[in-house]
Structure 1
Amino acid sequence: MRAVVYAENGPSDVLKLVEREPREPGPGEVRVRVVVSGVNPTDWKQRQGSPVDGEAVPNQDGAGVVDAVGPGVEGLLPGDRVWTMMSAHYGPLSGTAQEYTVLPAERVFPLPDGASFDLGASVGVPAVTAHRALTVAEDGPSRLAPGALAGRTVLVPGGAGAVGHAAIQLARWAGATVISTVSGDAKAELVRAAGAHDVVFYTRPDAADAIRRAAPDGVDIVVEVAASANAALNASVLRTGGTVAVYGNERGGGALTLDFGANLFLNARYQFLVLYTLAPSALRAGAEDVGAALRDGALPVGADAGLPLHRHPLAETAAAHDAVEGGAVGKVLIDVSAP
């Protein structure tokens, strides 16, 4: 089989296309023939900075077809269409930038009829991150379903990104009113296509007033991609007892400075989140709810749905990583094998 590997950290030219034998699945494991691999910022960051001992295969997300199952696996059979999550995190050779990958069954999920492999490869890290952000409020739901966020207002900065796009869609599916902040007209069109009720340009001096007009009682949840840059704005629009769920610090450094008094009297909650150290039960809950949203057709991708797709063949995995690192707007996908 063909696989993309790297044996040292560095720029994308450390990625090499090689031939290797696929591994047999062990107890509790599933072998997936990968059709499409999805690329996330975490993939190029891991390639650049996470220590590697021997060879590693990149990419956390993918979609394909179950090829074989190991002893003890229930609910998955050869021929099933599936999507995967946190694949490269399972082991150095388990990433999705290869024709076959072996994963634990708990990281492989059914891909509903009607959902494309492109969609399956797009939802893993972004959608489960968005799910976590929408379910950490002290007085909010721990699971998402239609109506779970009814009466709530969600603010999604950077709604044109993959996580922001999924947050808009999941929040709408769960019944929330969604506001998104963007930098300009092109991204405003994307977040409207994703389903945002209101769009605000964060570059304008009246951004807080515009958000307050859309949410007079304040915002319940902020799905935050730029914690430092947006700290003052969040404090001015958050309702008392509201939550800022932080998954990124774009346009900021390694530190986050908060106005103590403003956040104190708001009883504001800042909840940081990353999937790598999340409890398995929370990952499973996120994947199950994302699966339900997929079945309901609530997570479409593509330009018409606000998330343009950019394609590369497996041999050009380095270019796919460069595109994500360079800030490509939309979702970068790698075509690995035939559907």
Structure 2
Amino acid sequence: MKAVVYETYGGPEVLTVAHVEKPIVGEDDVLVKVGASGINPVDTYFRAGIREVPSFPHIPHFDLAGTVVEAGKNVTNVSVGDRVWGTNISGTAAEYVACPQSKVFPLADHLTYEEGAALAMAFMTAHLSLFARGQLQKEDTVLIYGGAGAVGHAAIQLAKQTGAFVITTAGDETKAQLAKEAGADEVILYKQTNVTDAIESLKATVTLILDVSVSENLESNLDFIENGGRIVTVGSPKNNTPSLPWRKLNMKNVSLHGVLLFTAKPSELKEAGTAISTLFQQKKLTAHLAKAFSFTEATKAHEALEQKIYNGTIVLTP
């Protein structure tokens, strides 16, 4: 079968298309014919060697949407012919992928494979952050950083479905419009206005924060978050070992939570994936698809992601 691979760490140019063996389906696995494979920032970290891969040649990506074409004898929740989406599945940039049945969820009929691959990691991370970690309630006021990004855009929609009041940040008017279309009640243009000042001017009582770059924001978050509030940290790309302003956190009785899709509890992943599928089937959520490239354009797709050319999730199609 055809797959995107790399045989050494490096830039987007190390990505090539090769023929590899079709995976064997285990008793508890399903074989998915891939319609699209989603690309996320973490994929560039593995490709660059910031995070290690188990061996070379390595097939990248963790998100997919496609059709089940084979099922192991112990599989009961998925049937051949089902359209599915999934995340936390290694090596999805291939024509076929074998994975445990627990990692795939029903793909709504009105969604394309490209949209299914685009929603996977973004919505799963957002759901885990808001609910499994943040314990979001309808009376909460939540600040979501990066409302035009994949995770932020998903989190806005999920928070609004709960009934929460949503404030988000955006870098420009175009991104602000994307955030508003997702349902944000207020958008802070952080390049023009200090976030802390904006929160004060809104007279907002922020009880939950979803932060995508905690090393840059933690100090100010602790200034304006409500006493007893919760901060959920999705990422800290500029500094992976930020200092902890413990005194501020302690004085405000704030809880600080990490979230990582790859190590989340299976029960949490199942609950989140089921809820996401249901909301999409009810047409209450929309995927934030940026652009689809072919497998042969993998280098161009990774370059576009790293250069932040598009808002939303980029996907590859076989």
Per the normalisation by structure 2, the TM-score is 0.93
How many angstroms does 1:137 deviate by?
5.1
Counterpart residue number, 1:71: 73
Give the partner amino acid of 2:109: D
What secondary structure, in the 3-state scheme, does the structure 2 residue paired with 1:98 have?
coil
Bigger shift: 51-60 or 313-322? Answer: 51-60
What's 1:331 paired with? 313
Q: Which residue of 1 aligns with 2:255?
A: 269
Specify whether residues 3 and 153 from structure 1 end up closer, same or farther in structure 2 by C-alpha distance, changes over 3 A only: same
Within 2, Cα distance between the matches of 1:59 and 1:47? 10
Counterpart secondary structure, 2:216: coil
1:222 aligns with 2:215: no
Tell which deviates more after alignment, 228-237 or 170-179.
228-237
CA distance in 2, matches of 1:269, 1:110: 34
Amino acid across the alignment from 1:64: G
Could you tell me the percent identity over the aligned residues? 33
- Residue 247 of structure 1 corresponds to 234
Q: How far is 1:5 from its partner?
A: 1.5
Question: Any unmatched runs of 5+ in structure 2?
Answer: none
| Mapping 1:7-156, distance limit 5 Å | 7-49=7-49, 50-88=52-90, 95-136=91-132, 140=135, 149-156=137-144
Q: What residue number does 2:298 align with?
A: 317
Q: Offset of 1:14 from its aligned partner?
A: 2.1
TM-superposed deviation, 1:116 = 2.3
**Is the CA contact (8 Å cut-off) linking 1:34 and 1:98 kept in structure 2?**
yes
SS of aligned partner of 2:115: helix
Q: How far did 1:236 drift? A: 2.3
Post-superposition offset of 1:274: 0.8
| Structure 2 partner of 1:256 | 242
How many residue pairs match? The answer is 315
CA distance in 1, matches of 2:203, 2:60: 41
SS in 1 for 2:214: coil
Q: In structure 1, what is the Cα distance between the partners aligned to 2:194 and 2:101?
A: 49
Q: Kindly provide the amino acid, as one letter, of the partner of residue 119 in structure 1.
A: E
State the alpha-carbon separation in 2 of the partners of residues 315 and 227 from structure 1: 36
Q: Within 1, Cα distance between the matches of 2:27 and 2:79?
A: 14
Contact 2:169 2:188 in 1 (8 A): yes
Give the residue type in structure 2 aligned to 1:66.
Answer: V
Provide the rounded CA distance (Å) in 1 between the counterparts of 2:150 and 2:231.
Answer: 18
Per-residue CA shift, 1:142-197, capped at 9, x if unaligned?
Answer: xxxxxxx3111111111111011111111111211110012221211111111111
- CA distance in 1: counterparts of 2:186 and 2:176, whole angstroms: 9
Residues 122-201 of structure 1: matches in 2 within 5 Å? 122-136=118-132, 140=135, 149-201=137-189
**SS in structure 2 at match of 1:292:** helix
Seen in structure 2, the aligned counterparts of structure 1 residues 115 and 97 have a Cα distance that, compared at 3 Å, is same
- Contact 1:155–1:222 (Cα < 8 Å) also in 2: yes
Cα separation, partners in 2 of 1:286 and 1:208, compared to 1, 3 Å: same
Q: Is the 8 A contact 2:36 2:64 kept in 1?
A: yes
SS at match of 1:35: strand
Between the aligned partners of 1:200 and 1:171, the Cα distance in structure 2 is 17
Aligned residue type for 1:245: V
CA distance in 2, matches of 1:112, 1:137: 26
- CA RMSD, aligned part only? 1.8
Q: Give the aligned residue type for 1:74.
A: T
Task: Give 1:40 deviation, angstroms.
Answer: 0.4
CA apart distance, 1:63: 0.4
Does the 8 Å contact 1:136/1:245 carry over to 2?
no
